[in-house]
A and B are shown apart, each in its own frame.
Chain A
Amino acid sequence: MTQLPQGGPQTQRAPEQAPAPIGLPAQRPSTWAVQSRRLRAAATTEPGRLQIIGAVLALLVLAFGAVTALEISHRSAAADDVVGRSQPLSADAANIYRSLADADTMAAGGFLAGAQEPKAVQDQYRKDIEEAARLLVKASANTDASTSSWQEITTLNELLPVYTGLIERARANNRQGLPLGGAYLRYANQKMTNELLPAAERLYAAETGRLDRDSADARQWPFLSLAAGIVVLGALVWMQRRNYRRTNRVFNHGLLVATAAASVVLLWLAVGHTVARTELRSAMTQGQESLDVLNNARINSLKARANENLTLVARGAVLTADGSADQYETDYTTGMKALKAQLKQAGQLADDRSGSAPVAEAARSVTEWQERHRKARATDDRGDYDGALKQIIGAEDSTGQSFQQVDTALRKALAHEQGEFTSAAEDGRGALRGLPTGAAALAVLGAVAAILGVNRRLSEYR
């Protein structure tokens, strides 16, 4: 602007051709100056003003569309992650945790049965180890090396062969009839309880944390888009009011279409995201929370079962720190207490009959399990080891049977809650589907309509 007075002389000097490197940068501010002068000149006349207003309106509508498309794409991607990545990974982590605990339970159970393990128990142990190994590979493929999950997966990958090695040593010694087998089994259980299971638990917590974050990301209000939408609508209304005042015409078709398009986008945005939010929230509260409690309950039932078996394997070889009680019996009691508390919580979280029925069934079986356990302990205390063994690992009326019932019921409850989660989360994700493209298309339409509407007015001056 300071160069304004120089405008004349400069054009006159043009033929002289000042050295290009100096002249060129000097020209840019002058172009800006020319533009701005032209704009100022235009703003003083009504057609000029209309041209400016038309351009600004079109840009605003386009910006609104772009912001909406971007923001919702981000929300939608987060919702995709919830359904397609983080929830499955969290479920996988829970399964790794469960497989490991189950393998330990099977190892102890098979050991109790004598030198020759029952085939079903052996198969289940192998399946558990295979499943854990397979899921670990899958999890590591989906995890960045910089995360804490990676750390846990590495730990588990390192320890799993150590654990299975100890179990094989226990089996080899047991087959030779040596009590050393029992000592190896206890050592393997110690590795599992103190190192593997805590790592699996941390992995599960990390994956569940990622799910929480993805879900929160998807549920975050699209503030920018909403604000942009309100500004655009305001601008369009203002323009129509201005028109009305100056020309006394109520309708301008172009502006009306632009307003309609912007309103549709805003409404779609608000409703679509609210629905998505609600569904995703209910997926978390009704599905994921229950899943979390049920997963923990299932793992506690497995730990309690392993400890119950080990009580018979160790027979008082390992005592609590104060020496007053059997370590495994104490751990069993603690595990059962946690299991009962979690089942109670799961019962409260269950929101329909098909969700609460299996939980109630599990709770009933737990009570029966505890009763049978007390009887088995009494039998063992009477000195009837074989009788106690039958009451613990026998096919009928044994605590093993009760444990199986608990496990089956919990599996049913987990499947139900997983279904609830997935359907709610998919509904939530579906509510956002098409919104980014729709918003972009409608914005282009609105921008074109706004320009046409303003042009219609402008043509009256020509």
Chain B
Amino acid sequence: MTRARTGTRHRPARGGLRGWGGVTGMAVACVITASLTLLPLSRHDGRTAGADTVGGGTAAAFPARAEACTDPEASLPPSSADGPGIAKIKARGKLVAGVDQNSFRWGYRNPYSGELEGFDIDLVRALAKDILGDPNAVIFRAIPTNQRIAALERDRVDVIVRTMTINCKRLEQVSFSTAYFRTGQQILAPKDSAITGYDGSLKGKRVCSGEGTTAYEALEKESYGAIFKDESDGTERDRDQLTVPNQLDCLVRLQLGEVDAVLTDNALGAGQAAQDPAVALKGAGPFTTEYYGVAAKKGADDLVARVNKVLVDYRAGGADSAWMVSYRKWLAAGLPGITAPPAPKYRSE
């Protein structure tokens, strides 16, 4: 998920981070990141969830400048060698995973079974099975979107498997596995709506997005004449009509006729469409490209390499791979047409 919350509901001035200063900063940060993977990492002082800020996803727009982070999806080569990270999990006997429980088909609590289930949850169980030999040796922790990085830094969880988009900005604070899902922003609207996608058909329409998400940033950049801001956004009087705390709240507004369309990751949009047969993702496909990865604490290289190894196994097997089985079980209905997982990329050092 591409939610990149700022510490507050305050929106950074448009373009602030997209200036050269921001780009240079990112470039420097990525250089540091790359070099730090070779060193045991001391904690980044003053880094909290609030630093999990917007703009990271845009780094790819400036590849020439940000040379050290041209390819945030490239991760460590897979390995099953034990290290301090793995040893800690083995000593505990449980893998502690930060997940979502509000995202249908990804991570949500089934009210009948009381169990968490979804594509992300399947992946967590595969990790536990590989590391501890038992897919149920997991402690699931529901982690709010903007607490994902803080939860890792404070050792509250071993891994975050929670529709988390890999980007350069976040790579300053956490380590990512190889990509396990490809997604992007897409418009969701009622099937019979005149809205055809992220284009001129949005003119004058009310579009809902999550507060502080990349979807909101995209609208700020180009809204095609859509209405997407609440009158008193960011204040106590914010009525949460067009910008909402959680992407799922957008579907509530859409069903109640308070908004005309929703902009979110198509992976999550598909989860919304799966809950309401009257809505569908609009347009040919997502207009951005983003990848989800498993996040671990910065410097937990043995764990990241292990996750990458599990992902290799998870992807293997063609149409019968564990990845494809899980995809067909949870996502195929809402996101049809995916024939294979995204190919992993590895750093060459």
A contact set with B: CB distance below 8 Å: 114-115, 169, 173-174, 177-184, 186-187, 190, 194, 314-319, 321-324, 326-327, 381-386
A252 to chain B, nearest CB (A): 78
**Chain B, Cβ-Cβ closest to A165:** B256
Contact of A382 among B139, B146, B212, B249 (CB under 8 A): B139
Q: How far is the CB of A109 from chain B (nearest CB, A)?
A: 14
Asked if A385 and B112 sit within 8 Å, CB to CB, the answer is no
Query: Are A326 and B144 closer than 8 Å at their CB atoms?
Result: yes
Q: Which residue of A lies closest to B237 (CB)?
A: A194
Report yes or no: A183 in contact with B252, Cβ–Cβ below 8 A.
yes
Question: In the assembly, what is the distance between CA of A385 and CA of B99, in Å?
Answer: 13
Given contacts A179-B104, A386-B114, contact A323 B49 (CB under 8 A): yes
CB distance from A392 to the nearest CB of B (A): 14
State A431–B96 Cα separation when bound (angstroms).
73
Among B96, B102, B147, B248, point to the contact of A383 (Cβ < 8 A). Answer: B96
- Complex Cα–Cα for A181 and B248 (A): 10
Q: How far is the CB of B146 from chain A (nearest CB, A)?
A: 5
A433 to chain B, nearest CB (A): 52
Q: A78 CA to B307 CA in the complex, in Å?
A: 78
Tally B residues with Cβ within 8 Å of A. 43
Contact A183 B6 (CB under 8 A): no
**Structural contact, A180 and B240, CB atoms closer than 8 A:** no
Q: Is B11 located at the chain interface by the 8 A CB criterion?
A: no
Interface residues, chain B, CB within 8 Å of chain A? 5-9, 49-50, 96, 101-104, 108-112, 114, 139-147, 156, 212, 234, 236, 239-240, 245-246, 248-249, 251-252, 255, 272, 275-276
Chain A positions within 8 Å of B103 at CB level: 179
CA distance A322 to B7 in the complex (A): 6
Q: Give CA–CA (A114, B109) in the complex, Å.
A: 10
Q: Verify B246–A318 contact, CB threshold 8 A.
A: yes
A317 partner residues in chain B, CB cutoff 8 A: 102, 144, 245-246, 248
A contact residues around B7 at 8 Å (CB) = 322-324
- B111–A181 CB distance below 8 A: yes
Whether B275 contacts A173 by the Cβ 8 Å rule is: yes
CB pair B114–A114 under 8 Å, yes or no, is yes
> Is the CB–CB distance between B112 and A180 below 8 Å?
no
A383 neighbours in B (Cβ, 8 Å): 96, 139-141
Q: Indicate if the CB atoms of A319 and B111 lie closer than 8 Å.
A: no
Interface pair B8/A323, CB less than 8 Å apart? yes
Q: Which of B112, B248, B249 contacts A177 (CB 8 A)?
A: B112
Cross-chain contact of A179 among B9, B49, B102 (Cβ < 8 A): B102
A418 CA to B340 CA in the complex, in Å? 71
Question: Please, which residues of chain B bring their CB within 8 A of the CB of A327?
Answer: 245
B245 close to A323 (CB less than 8 A)? no
Question: How many angstroms from the CA of A458 to the CA of B6 in the assembled complex?
Answer: 101
Q: Which residue of B lies closest to A113 (CB)?
A: B111
Q: How far is the CB of B191 from chain A (nearest CB, A)?
A: 17
Query: By the criterion CB–CB under 8 Å, are A183 and B248 in contact?
Result: yes
Are B108 and A323 within 8 A (Cβ)? no
Option from B143, B146, B249, B272 in Cβ contact (under 8 Å) with A323: B146
How many angstroms from the CA of A311 to the CA of B253 in the assembled complex?
Answer: 21
* A-B pairs with lowest CB-CB distance, top 6: A316-B144, A383-B139, A315-B142, A317-B246, A318-B245, A115-B111
Complex CA gap A322/B9 in Å reads 6
Q: Inside 8 A of A382's CB, which chain B residues have their CB?
A: 139
Interface pairs (22), CB distance under 8 Å: A114-B111, A174-B111, A177-B110, A178-B104, A179-B104, A179-B108, A180-B252, A183-B102, A183-B246, A184-B252, A187-B249, A314-B102, A314-B246, A315-B102, A323-B6, A323-B8, A323-B146, A327-B245, A381-B141, A383-B140, A383-B141, A386-B114
Bound CA span A262–B103, Å: 84
Q: How far is the CA of A169 from the CA of B251 in the complex (A)?
A: 12
Residues of chain B with a CB closer than 8 A to A314's CB? 102, 246
- Shortest CB-to-CB span from A191 to chain B, Å, is 11
Distance to closest chain A CB from B5 (angstroms): 6
Contact status B245-A180, CB under 8 Å:
no
Bound-state CA distance A318–B145 (Å) is 9
Q: Give min CB distance, B8 to chain A, whole Å.
A: 5
Return B254 CB to nearest CB of chain A, in Å. 11
CA distance A386 to B142 in the complex (A): 13
Chain B: minimal CB distance from A34 (Å): 79
Distance from B261 Cβ to chain A, minimum over Cβ atoms (Å) = 17
In the bound complex, residues from chain B placing their C-beta under 8 Å from that of A173 are 275
Task: Tell me the minimal C-beta distance from B212 to chain A in angstroms.
Answer: 8
Q: Is the CB of A179 within 8 A of B139?
A: no
Smallest beta-carbon distance A384→chain B, Å: 8
Does the CB pair A179–B248 fall under 8 Å?
Answer: yes
User: Is there contact, CB below 8 Å, between A114 and B49?
Assistant: no
Query: Do A385 and B5 contact each other (CB < 8 Å), given the known contacts A184-B252, A317-B246?
Result: no
Q: How far is the CA of A183 from the CA of B246 in the complex (A)?
A: 9
**CB proximity of B24 to chain A, nearest CB, Å:** 27
**How far, in angstroms, from A146 to B141 measured CA to CA in the complex?**
54
Whether A323 contacts B141 by the Cβ 8 Å rule is no
Q: Contact at B276–A180, with CB atoms within 8 Å?
A: yes
Instruction: Report the bound CA distance from A315 to B112 in whole Å.
Output: 18
Task: Please tell me if the beta carbons of B140 and A179 are within 8 angstroms of each other in the complex.
Answer: no
- Cα A322 to Cα B141 with chains together (Å): 22
Among B102, B109, B145, B275, the one with the most A-chain Cβ atoms within 10 Å of its Cβ is B102
Quick one: closest A residue to B5, CB to CB?
A323
Complex contact A319–B144 (CB within 8 A): yes
Specify which of A169, A181, A183 lies most central, judged by the most chain B CB atoms within 10 Å of its CB: A183
Whole-angstrom distance between the alpha carbons of A323 and B148 in the complex?
12
Say yes or no: A316-B275 contact (C-beta < 8 A), given A177-B111, A180-B248.
no
Judging by beta carbons under 8 Å apart, are B275 and A178 in contact?
yes
Let me know if B140 and A180 touch, CB within 8 A: no
Separation of A180 and B272 alpha carbons in the complex (Å): 8
Determine how close the nearest CB of chain B comes to the CB of A55; give it in whole angstroms. Answer: 72
Given the known A-B contacts A183-B249, A183-B252, are A319 and B146 also in contact in the complex, defined by CB atoms under 8 Å?
yes
Q: Which of A179, A184, A385 has the most CB of B within 10 A?
A: A179
Q: CA separation between A169 and B146, bound complex, in Å?
A: 28
Chain A positions within 8 Å of B249 at CB level: 183, 186-187
How far does the alpha carbon of A327 sit from the alpha carbon of B249 in the complex, in Å?
15
Residues of A within 8 A of B156 (CB): 381
A316 touches B143 (CB 8 A): yes
In angstroms, how far is the closest chain A Cβ from the Cβ of B127? 15
With a cutoff of 8 Å between Cβ atoms, the chain A residues found around residue B9 in the complex are 321-323
